[in-house]
Amino acid sequence: MSVSPDHQQPDSLTGAILAAEGIVDAAVLLNGPTGCKFYHGAIAEGQVRGLTTYEVANEGEVDIQLIPKASRDISTTEYVARLRPIVGKVPAPGGKVMARQMPIKGIKGLRAADVLVEVRGQDMDVLDDLARRTAQTMEGLGQFRNVSVSMDIAKPEYQVRVDRTKAAELGVSVGEISRTLRSLITGAVVSRYREAGEYYDMRVLVPESGFTSRKDVANLVVSGSGGDAIRVRDVADVREAVGPVEIVRQNQVKQVTVEASTAGVDLAAAMAALRPALNDLDRPAGYEFGFGGQAELMADMRQAVIAVVAFAVFFSFIVLTVQFNSVKLPALILGSAPFCLTGLIFGLYLSGLAFGATVLIGILVVIALTVNDGVLLMTFAEELHQRQGLPGRDAVLQAAKIRLRPRLMTTITTMIGFTPLALNLGEGADMLQPMAIGAIGGLATEAIVALFFMPCLYALFTARPPKAAC
């Protein structure tokens, strides 16, 4: 879990969460809501992503690590919900303090925010205005919280506005002025020297003590076309202004990100409300919206689920067709699988859990057991039907009675195996809980399908009894 103060803010959260300028030098033992104790540390001026700390001048992050789950009576999600109003009372002039759960480390692309709206364009002022209006739209929907804009135009700077007419009269181009100022202020590499096998740049620049005011920049000298010395103030206007702290580009296009977490709704419902709202926003040509965070992962996961299930069904159909030397029985077995998945969806709906990436494993488990039970049932029924000449109805009833006990044993033991994960017992069970609940719901439906639906399908499509074998 992380508490992210936006801007440097010397304050405290319930006594010690925020320290001087957003930095906590040592771990502090605090009493959280409902007496739950936790340790926490902090990273100054930056955000931790994996093993790397990204230094950002206007952002800081305080990381809180809860004690083991067995030693507390509150979940991480509940703790974040109770901590959120506490950090909301922290005064942060010009900034924002938010409490949110940290993402699971090791999963590429997973961020702390549920939704990332990527605003892309060329002009920074237009991007900033569009991003602010996007944030206001998301807050107005009432389905998002912790809405924040990644770009902060608060960095003091001097802006040099070149008068192109004067510059042309004096024989100096805008490019020459830009290159000269860059060389004088940031330095130009004129040579390199070698020491102990390493090369070091030799950079020539005006010392920082030479820039104490706007006039120092205006008095810098650039060379004209005839070699004349021209002051910057003669061809440009130097102004005090503010600019973005950082400029982020994606595919060479400037981008501003608006982050938010869902509030009381699932991610799919929040995205369904957000997309039409963003389409109604007025934006200039050449500016577009993109989505990242868990919303992007959800879209990728949906495609992955469709692809994996399609391949699983296809290869299962091929193998079963070769095994039975028939298309009818594989079609009956695989045709029952979608009915088993209704139990998986219903189980997630009753538990209030979202359809996460781990549910894909539960889907594969349900399909595998459906195919396994169907193969055993159909094989025995077909053997009675073909070799003993029993009608399809009698053959499948006899086969279902014989296969009832082993089928229930395998299904119930599998459901019992998923029970600890479904009850969210132990560390790390939060991520696997949707998979377990979905699998239990699917297996419960699979037992009913295997006991009643598959025999009905077999009896329906095997109406004519064959001739008794000699």
**Do 52 and 79 meet the contact criterion of CB atoms below 8 Å apart?**
no
Q: How big is the chain by its Cα radius of gyration, in Å?
A: 33
372 contact partners, CB below 8 Å, separation of at least 6: 410
Could you identify the residue written with the tokens 């719901």?
Answer: 441
Predicted pLDDT at 464: 57
Name the nearest CA neighbour of 304 among 366, 354, 357, 346.
357
The CATH architecture one would assign to domain 326-461 is Up-down Bundle (1.20)
Whole-angstrom distance, CA of residue 115 vs CA of residue 143: 11
* Bridge-based pairing state of the strands 153-162 and 236-244: antiparallel
Residue 265's SS3 state is coil
- What single letter denotes the amino acid at residue 42? A
Q: What angle do CA 22, 25, 27 make, to 5 degrees?
A: 110
Predicted pLDDT at 106: 53
What pLDDT tens digit does each residue of the chain (470 aa) get? 444 444 444 344 434 344 323 323 333 333 344 434 444 444 444 555 544 555 555 667 777 777 777 777 777 777 887 777 777 777 777 677 777 777 665 555 555 577 888 889 888 888 888 988 998 888 888 888 888 887 777 778 888 888 888 888 888 888 888 888 888 888 888 888 888 888 888 888 888 787 788 888 888 888 877 777 888 888 888 888 877 777 788 888 888 888 888 877 777 788 888 888 888 888 888 888 888 777 777 777 777 778 877 888 888 888 888 877 878 888 888 888 888 888 888 888 888 777 766 787 888 888 888 888 888 888 888 778 777 777 777 888 888 888 788 888 888 888 888 888 888 776 666 778 888 888 898 888 888 888 788 888 888 877 555 554 44
Name the nearest CA neighbour of 359 among 463, 419, 301, 435.
435
Element spanning 201, H or E: strand 198-204
Residue 311's SS3 state is helix
DSSP one-letter string for 266-309 = -HHHHHHHHHHHHHTS---TT-EEEEEEHHHHHHHHHHHHHHHH
**Do 356 and 431 meet the contact criterion of CB atoms below 8 Å apart?**
yes
Whole-angstrom distance, CA of residue 55 vs CA of residue 217: 28
Tell how far CA 28 is from the center of its chain.
30
Predicted pLDDT at 322: 84
Specify the DSSP class assigned to residue 143. S
| Domain spanning 103-152+245-293: CATH 3.30.70.1320 | yes
* Bridge-based pairing state of the strands 229-231 and 221-223: antiparallel
Name the nearest CA neighbour of 354 among 283, 262, 290.
262
**Do 457 and 335 meet the contact criterion of CB atoms below 8 Å apart?**
yes
Predicted pLDDT at 85: 78
Could you identify the residue written with the tokens 């009915």?
Answer: 339
Residue 215's SS3 state is helix
DSSP one-letter string for 346-413 = HHHHHHT----TTHHHHHHHHHHHHHHHHHHHHHHHHHHHHHS---HHHHHHHHHHHHHHHHHHHHHH
**Do 274 and 361 meet the contact criterion of CB atoms below 8 Å apart?**
no
If one counts every other C-beta atom within 10 angstroms of the C-beta of residue 378, the result is 26
Element spanning 121, H or E: strand 115-121
The tokens describing 359, both together, are: 């549910």
Predicted pLDDT at 30: 36
Predicted pLDDT at 19: 36
Q: Which ranges of 145-213 does DSSP label H, i.e. alpha helix?
A: 164-169, 174-185
Whole-angstrom distance, CA of residue 214 vs CA of residue 437: 65
Specify the DSSP class assigned to residue 31. E
Whole-angstrom distance, CA of residue 58 vs CA of residue 154: 9
Name the nearest CA neighbour of 355 among 143, 274, 109, 347.
347
Third-level CATH fold of 157-240: 3.30.2090
**Do 9 and 24 meet the contact criterion of CB atoms below 8 Å apart?**
no
